[in-house]
Amino acid sequence: MIGSKGSLNADHCEKEKVVFKKITLEKLGDLVSALKEKGPLYAPVRDGKAVNFQKITKTADVTLDFYNTVFSPKFVFFPQTEDLIRYTLQKEGAQAEPVPIAASPSVILGVRPCDAKSFEIMDRHFLGAGIIDPYWKNRRDNTVVIGYAFDPAAPPDPADFYNTVGIHAADTEGSDVFMVRKDGELLLKGITKKGESLLKGLAVLDAASAQDEAFFDETIRKDRGVKTRFTEITDTAIAAKLVGSFEKQEIWEEMTASCIGCGTCTFVCPTCYCFDINDETLFRKGARKRFWDACMFTDFTLEASGHNPRPRIFQRYRQKVCHKYSYHVTKYGCISCVGCGRCTRSCPVNIDIFSIVEKVANL
Amino acid sequence: MDFEPKILGIACNWCTYTGADLAGTTRLKYPQNVRTVRVMCSSRINPSFIIRAFQLGADGVLVGGCHPGDCHYGTGNLYARRKLAITKKILEFAGMDQKRFRVEWISASEGNKYAEIVEEFTRDLKALGPQNTFRIEKDSRERI
Amino acid sequence: MTNIKQIEENLKREAKRLLESKEVSVVLAYARGYDEHHPLPYAARTAGEVGNLIFNEYCTYNLARYLTKYPPKTKIAIAVKAADSRAVVQLIQEEKVKKEDLVILGIPFIGMKDPKTGEEIDQKTTCHMANPVLYDILLGEEIRDAGAGSPYDVLAELEAMDQAARWSFWEKEFSKCIRCFACRKACPMCYCDPCFMDASRPRWADKSPTADGNLMYHLTRFYHLAGRCIDCGECSRACPMDIPLHLFHKKMAKECETMFGQAAGMKIDDKPVMVNYGNQDSDEMLK
């Protein structure tokens, strides 16, 4: 299980201090405009069939009618590509300038509880591994996360399994502000100091009533009853199971036989953080770039000698599962998966990481 | 200043390149807009060369090979014809003006044909203006 | 059209027979995924595993993609729908698999549905054929009427655009590409190892998803698939960014048919058009 969860009772004790606001859905546009004034705002936008987080330019683009986005909002802190150094090649050597790490205060609106949790998991890697990643840290420090509870009345997507990793449909953990939908209204509650001060500074919001608070707490309670796919695992037990199953090649080959080896699952994943760094030059000008890489690619582990320690798909898939459910537990003390179901939903051949973990857990 | 188009010429070693040489040695006058790359056969041309040339700022690409039937290797240019025809369709469907890509069969003895085609192609490209469809901006290579 | 449950039963029966008689060592078909709307490509190796096989309208995946993963001379039975059978034929033409190593289980069916959206897959995204072009065993009755319309009708809108409009359409679409390579990996005809995109010398495109690299990747891939694409539409269904790659592939398939008079993957004796030339070829095609 991931971390510990604050109990509902603790929330009640601090009632006096709680910053609790509301706004009608018709005035969502006003809220979006007010948030946009504070800096870049990232929110869900419908584009064709899919809803994804985007940097908002037009207020009307924002939608809160979605189940979950195709891509995770991790790109706000960890963009798919970013320039680290920009340079111009000279006759001898190069003139190079590091790109300043400047993040303006920004807000992500409408983050589902599993995704909010993913930021904390990524923090352990980017901030807690002995080396602090300044790019991640800067954006994290400057961003307010507005979480958004799943609708307790709507059934969870069949691919979701966040219950398995100890997350519920309305966990406030990881969010600075938590948002619950009440008929035609949005209820917003400050969870952290950062979130509270954001709420206090938003004049468009109205004060919420005691009734609203009761509804908010009720929704959280009801959302505990939202049941996604579930299998009983504990982080240390599954970590050990995976290590134990590592050599069982046949099982892994069978479980991953349909994998085609694309990188979709890792790109949509909220907790995949592997990246590559490459110099890309054109007309003697260029940038040292960091960009997402995927352990599912053949050339991910390809060495300069030509040797590839993981030439086969089952090896790469096993690496992905072991990294998330075993190595991450050993190294950072938690499972690096939030059960959002994105990898399963986006997989071109419907491979399901939950089924694989379940199978290994029951070996 | 008048717009001077940049043309990438890709010429086969046996016919078109020799033809271009002949144009030079017979002192024919033709525009200097072509930068020629010599390949052993027109079928050696990878369509990615052409796409890349347009990305790097070519206003036109001229491919020259032996006349069909006269290939030094027998059938190279017969394959090349199909490859380059499809390349042309790809460029066109992607939204590139297909007049910017030209394939011509020019033999080693056709120095004057080479000069004429370069003259004509340069004139056409001048009328079309700079190619900005695939061209990469020099200073910004960010994702759109 | 044969009932889909009947097709499933026929598939199981034939798979069981083929594995029991050791005629094949593996049957490529479908199994239940995490729910019945999301089937999984599945390789049954024993008669006991045949029970896992299913067939329903969500079994869209083109299993020909897996053929090239097996070592040569592996005896394989493969379940194919119309477009998938064309992929098998194309792979035979390209000498990637041998006909004598295959038992092709043909499935005549119209009305497959995209597991992601639930929408019916019709001629807009596929080759609009109902019966497999090549099979050893047909698992249902041949379909007489595949319905009206050409698979290329869907191109009308793009073809009518002027060049600038077409470029802005593709420029926008390609800019969405995140280089997950799902299109290439889902494609039955993309079996190159290494792919030109993975080559570091020469480096055809930057590793990060830049606009110019995306253009290079997709245009080159369209070229590589020209005359080989059998129009199954897997690339577009695999794309998490919903880039309509199938439209470009369709256009190239249409051009190849017009110019060279041969559609991909129809007969095993055909030679792929791009490694061939014909007496009827003329310079008209370069105009």
Query: Per-residue pLDDT tens for C97-119?
Result: 999 999 999 999 999 999 988 89
CB-CB: which of A80, A280, A283 is closest to B138?
Answer: A283
Given a cut of 50, whether residue A4 has pLDDT beyond it is: no
Out of A10-24, A184-198, A301-315, C156-170, which region has the weakest mean confidence (pLDDT)?
A: A10-24
Select from B6, B141, B142, B143 the residue whose CB has the most chain A CBs within 10 Å, as the one to mutate to test that interface.
Answer: B141
CB-CB: which of A257, A276, A354 is closest to C34?
Answer: A354
If one counts the domains in chain A, the total is 2
B130 pLDDT tier (thresholds 50, 70, 90):
very high
Looking at residues A286-314, what average pLDDT do you find?
93
- Provide the pLDDT for residue B28: 95
Q: Quick one: C126 and C164 in the same domain? A: no
Q: Quick one: C101 and C159 in the same domain? A: no
Residue in C with minimal Cα distance to B91? C219
Q: Quick one: A328 and A293 in the same domain? A: yes
User: Is residue A205 in some structural domain?
Assistant: yes
CB pairs A-C closer than 8 Å: 102
Mark which of C77, C107, C138 sits at the end of a domain.
C138
Select from B66, B86, B137 the residue whose CB has the most chain C CBs within 10 Å, as the one to mutate to test that interface.
Answer: B86
Residue C238 at interface with chain A, using a CB cutoff of 8 Å: yes
| Domains by residue range for chain B, with CATH | 7-128 (3.40.50.960)
Q: Quick one: A70 and A116 in the same domain? A: yes
Domain that holds residue A127: 8-223
- Provide the pLDDT for residue C88: 97
Interface of C with B in 246-285 (CB under 8 A): 248, 251-252, 255-256, 259-260, 273-277, 281, 283, 285
A48 pLDDT tier (thresholds 50, 70, 90):
confident
Could you tell me how far CA A99 lies from the centroid of its own chain? 25
Q: In A, which residues are within 8 Å of C194 by CB distance?
A: 298-299
Q: Quick one: A269 and A205 in the same domain? A: no
Domain that holds residue C74: 4-138
Q: How far apart are CA A314 and CA A255, in angstroms?
A: 8
Q: Quick one: A210 and A302 in the same domain? A: no
Select from A282, A284, A285, A289 the residue whose CB has the most chain B CBs within 10 Å, as the one to mutate to test that interface.
Answer: A282
User: Is residue A39 in some structural domain?
Assistant: yes
Which chains does chain A touch, 3 or more C-beta pairs < 8 A?
B, C
Interface of A with C in 43-72 (CB under 8 A): 48-50, 70-71
User: Is residue C225 in some structural domain?
Assistant: yes
Q: Quick one: A210 and A246 in the same domain? A: no
Q: Three-state SS string across chain C, please?
A: CCCHHHHHHHHHHHHHHHHHCCCCCEEEEEECCCCCCCCEEEEECCHHHHHHEECCCCCCCCCHHHHCCCCCCCCEEEEECHHHHHHHHHHHHCCCCCHHHEEEEECCCCCCECCCCCCECCCCCCCCCCCCCCCCEECCCCCCCCCCCCCCHHHHHHHHCCHHHHHHHHHHHHHCCCCCCHHHHHCCCCCCCCCHHHCCCCCCCCCCCCHHHHHHHHHHHHHHHCCCCCCCCHHHHHCCCCCCHHHHHHHHHHHHHHHHCCCCCCCCCCCCHHHCCCCCCCHHHHC
Q: Quick one: A239 and A211 in the same domain? A: no
Model ipTM over 0.90: yes
Q: Quick one: C172 and C279 in the same domain? A: yes
Q: Quick one: C273 and C250 in the same domain? A: yes
- Provide the pLDDT for residue B138: 53
Q: Quick one: A94 and A157 in the same domain? A: yes
- Provide the pLDDT for residue A16: 53
Q: Quick one: A157 and A269 in the same domain? A: no
Looking at residues A153-175, what average pLDDT do you find?
94
Residue C222 at interface with chain B, using a CB cutoff of 8 Å: yes
If one counts the domains in chain C, the total is 2
Out of A21-35, A340-354, C193-207, which region has the weakest mean confidence (pLDDT)?
A: C193-207
Three-class secondary structure of residue A21 per DSSP: strand
Q: Quick one: A204 and A269 in the same domain? A: no
CB-CB: which of C172, C211, C252 is closest to B90?
Answer: C252
Q: Quick one: A37 and A137 in the same domain? A: yes
Given a cut of 50, whether residue C206 has pLDDT beyond it is: yes
Given a cut of 50, whether residue A3 has pLDDT beyond it is: no
